[in-house]
Structure 1
């Protein structure tokens, strides 16, 4: 449990820490908006695409072995990013680091599922949720302090340092495997990864060239075609597929596995882009930006363990529905955001966000792996985490495109050319605000966050309703 928790803590810090370090990193390396965005997108694509493959490999060749490999890869490549001489080198290294993160994510949950049962499993997955929450909670604050004290490279050095004790602890974890696991589904893996990459490319291109540009539309069409091809391939492979699409015919399974789309999507968007907003248009320091996020991040640290006990006394249905409702409330209150707001005004929308995500983190992983036999826990964890990280990856890329597009539209209204407005807006989303356009960027980006809040509120409300209906008591009683 200590091994998996300590390894898992690195993953959210690798996301939030990199996002906080990005403005300083991009300025120091002289990066363009697009290249800087791929420092986040490259990691997210491989992180999202590979948990299924990692889970299958863990079941087949050994869950501890894949866990150790993943920890080593995350740590070693993080050190490489810290030494990167240019942003393209960092982009490629971060994509490789995402591969290691996917291995940790899938194999860690499988190790816990194989080693525990009953109340011990509930407690272990509560600890796992708390470890993710800890990484999310301390990420912006620690990263902000490190960047101010020692520069952006120190954020990645810290992840490398965190990997060493995690790897040593993992050497003591019990080994387990399922020798009858089918061979790796290479066709499914390639089509899914390519589809996700095309979608992320489309979002980046939309922010630069517009949503109606031929290049954007072509990439979106390619993404849809590849995802459809992936579904066809997986249905055709049936029991040999890495992603059993047929499982989604069951509303209970679909509700649990798709829950991350309504729970973590908005949370991750705010973790990545709100610090840049606070540093850029609000003129806050990096450390102050991290402190201002505490109303959202602290509940994710404190609530996962309590959520397990609450689910035992009520139901998973009640906890997950309440979580989505809280996030919807926080998203709606995000429309009150303004650049010179006080800590209390910022805490008003962020606290419900954090409370909802903290509750969900304590029960989601356990609910997912408990739907399958323990010998297939790696594959179940892979499916669940693929859905979770895919949602986060799409959210990070999509939110950047949406914020850039809306802000650029406001700038064009003030007389700037389309190309210049888009470039300045993209820099502002990443926390680099041009002084000559500070007032227009403040107004435009704040309005864009208000629109984003409305979109997230609608999505989370829909998630709350669907979860409540899909996990109805009469359905839960029919589960094997």
Structure 2
């Protein structure tokens, strides 16, 4: 008689959750830390401003371009195996970044780090989908959202202190140590799982999609600096469209495609992808544009700007977990749409203030935005894997994460272009320079380079330029508020009835309830 394999213990499930949370914590550290360190990196390794942007862009390019393939690999070859490979690659590249001696090798290691992050993140979410079910899964995924919140709220502050005390290399050492801890926990407790119906990786689909998304991401990253009419940007976007067309054509002819296009017939699946992109306009763009506004236009210190940003991100520390608790009484669709409406109200409220560094005035709208985004943030990862059979959770996690990362990159490019257009409109009323020069100045101003914009506008005082930038930013916040309202309506329409707490639980339910209480 063959004995059945014993089920994993409660402790094993919770340690798996801890390992995935630690891997998730490295994501915001990898986004915010290097961005803060660019000045220090430039002093030691040299390089132009454009070359230094690849410290950030190289990570985003490989991370966003590899997520879908990473999810498919996890379903095919095993979630634990791919998770260990990804976390190990991330930790190895962090060591390389700590020891690097040139800017070129730093960019190369950042690209490798992005690949490792994609492998670990997509496979980690898929592994959680196998370990938890029902309401337990909702709470488990809400902890992922809370982990992101901790990284977003305190990551910039911690990385700033490390750079000041130990140098910029310390931030990569920190990320590597967190990765090694996740690696050890996963190797000890995570159980292996894979899609039993997988017949092999759809390599043509994986390569064509990765090419398409990489070209799109590269084009979106290059557009704010080079302009949307740049031959390079146009060529990248056209190449991306051609690669996407090739991907869709290949997937329709493949028996076991990397992306099952028939899923887009189901409203809930479409709604999850809309939910993935919604925070980009409601929250993520503020994480990039608000510090530029505070430091460049209002002249506050980086430390003061950090205090303002903390008011925006502090609710993410606990409220994503509360969102999972609220699913006992409300559907995830209602909570997500309601949270986005709160964000929209906060954005409109914030647009009423011409000076955003006056924290005694802007504290409440910033907190309202943070509270609003925390509700969908704590639910959307769980929703992503709940709308497909759990055997294909890796594919679902890859699609969702790809939509989120690509949506953020595109949102930053589009919002940057809109801010430049609004600023150009304001400057046209106070300056008489040629339209071409005015457009160039507006593009520099939208990137936070007000001094460079002022050099192109002789006779225009810095105060007038700063006021014009602030007015354009206020109008931008109003537009973002409207976009967020529309996103909330789309999410409510497509996700009706999705994500309500289910009676199905796992053996880890009592322990998870205790951990979340």
Moved more, 1-10 or 90-99: 90-99
Offset, 1:57 = 1.4
Q: Counterpart in 2 of 1:460?
A: 484
Offset, 1:164 = 2.0
Q: Counterpart in 2 of 1:232?
A: 249
Q: Counterpart in 2 of 1:206?
A: 223
Q: Secondary structure at 1:312's aligned position in 2?
A: coil
Q: Name the CA shift for 1:268/1:167 in 2 (closer, same or farther; >3 Å).
A: same
Provide the rounded CA distance (Å) in 2 between the counterparts of 1:344 and 1:187.
55
Provide the rounded CA distance (Å) in 1 between the counterparts of 2:213 and 2:413.
11
Aligned length: 476
CA contact (8 A) 1:428 1:434 kept: no
Alignment of 1:331 with 2:347, yes or no, is yes
Residues 100-145 of structure 1 show CA distances to partners (whole Å, capped at 9, x for unaligned) of 1111211111111111223332221122221122112212222233
Moved more, 55-64 or 424-433: 424-433
Alignment of 1:217 with 2:234, yes or no, is yes
CA contact (8 A) 1:145 1:286 kept: no
Q: Name the CA shift for 1:367/1:474 in 2 (closer, same or farther; >3 Å).
A: closer
Counterpart of 1:301 (choices 313, 317, 338) is 317
CA contact (8 A) 1:49 1:189 kept: no
Q: Counterpart in 1 of 2:4?
A: none
Q: Name the CA shift for 1:157/1:390 in 2 (closer, same or farther; >3 Å).
A: same
Counterpart of 1:189 (choices 186, 206, 209) is 206
Counterpart of 1:75 (choices 76, 91, 103) is 91
Alignment of 1:429 with 2:453, yes or no, is no
Q: Counterpart in 2 of 1:133?
A: 149
Moved more, 129-138 or 443-452: 443-452
Alignment of 1:166 with 2:182, yes or no, is yes
Provide the rounded CA distance (Å) in 2 between the counterparts of 1:445 and 1:464.
29
Offset, 1:199 = 2.6
Residues 340-380 of structure 1 show CA distances to partners (whole Å, capped at 9, x for unaligned) of 63113333432222112211122111112122222222122
Counterpart of 1:180 (choices 182, 185, 197) is 197
Alignment of 1:55 with 2:79, yes or no, is no
CA contact (8 A) 2:223 2:413 kept: no
Offset, 1:208 = 3.4
Provide the rounded CA distance (Å) in 1 between the counterparts of 2:464 and 2:42.
22
Provide the rounded CA distance (Å) in 1 between the counterparts of 2:167 and 2:296.
18
Computed over aligned residues only, the root mean square deviation of the Cα atoms, in angstroms, reads 3.2
Provide the rounded CA distance (Å) in 2 between the counterparts of 1:143 and 1:430.
22
Offset, 1:392 = 1.8
CA contact (8 A) 2:224 2:443 kept: no
CA contact (8 A) 2:282 2:344 kept: no
Alignment of 1:343 with 2:346, yes or no, is no
Residues 79-112 of structure 1 show CA distances to partners (whole Å, capped at 9, x for unaligned) of 4334444444333322221111111211111111
Moved more, 139-148 or 163-172: 139-148
Q: Secondary structure at 2:180's aligned position in 1?
A: helix
CA contact (8 A) 1:281 1:431 kept: no
Give the alignment of 1:12-411 within 5 angstroms. 12-26=28-42, 29-172=45-188, 173-237=190-254, 239-336=255-352, 338=354, 341-403=357-419
Q: Secondary structure at 2:234's aligned position in 1?
A: helix
Q: Counterpart in 2 of 1:442?
A: 466
Provide the rounded CA distance (Å) in 1 between the counterparts of 2:147 and 2:223.
35
Q: Name the CA shift for 1:243/1:320 in 2 (closer, same or farther; >3 Å).
A: same
Give the alignment of 1:404-419 within 5 angstroms. 413=431, 415=433
Q: Name the CA shift for 1:34/1:200 in 2 (closer, same or farther; >3 Å).
A: farther
Provide the rounded CA distance (Å) in 2 between the counterparts of 1:284 and 1:148.
19
Q: Secondary structure at 2:487's aligned position in 1?
A: helix
Q: Secondary structure at 1:50's aligned position in 2?
A: helix
Provide the rounded CA distance (Å) in 2 between the counterparts of 1:389 and 1:66.
20
Moved more, 170-179 or 209-218: 209-218
Moved more, 46-55 or 12-21: 12-21
Provide the rounded CA distance (Å) in 2 between the counterparts of 1:9 and 1:464.
27
Q: Name the CA shift for 1:375/1:200 in 2 (closer, same or farther; >3 Å).
A: closer
Provide the rounded CA distance (Å) in 1 between the counterparts of 2:230 and 2:317.
42
Offset, 1:465 = 0.9
- Structure possessing the higher radius of gyration over alpha carbons: 2
CA contact (8 A) 2:445 2:453 kept: no
Offset, 1:417 = 9.8
CA contact (8 A) 1:195 1:223 kept: yes
Calculate the TM-score normalised by the size of structure 2. Answer: 0.82
Offset, 1:445 = 4.0
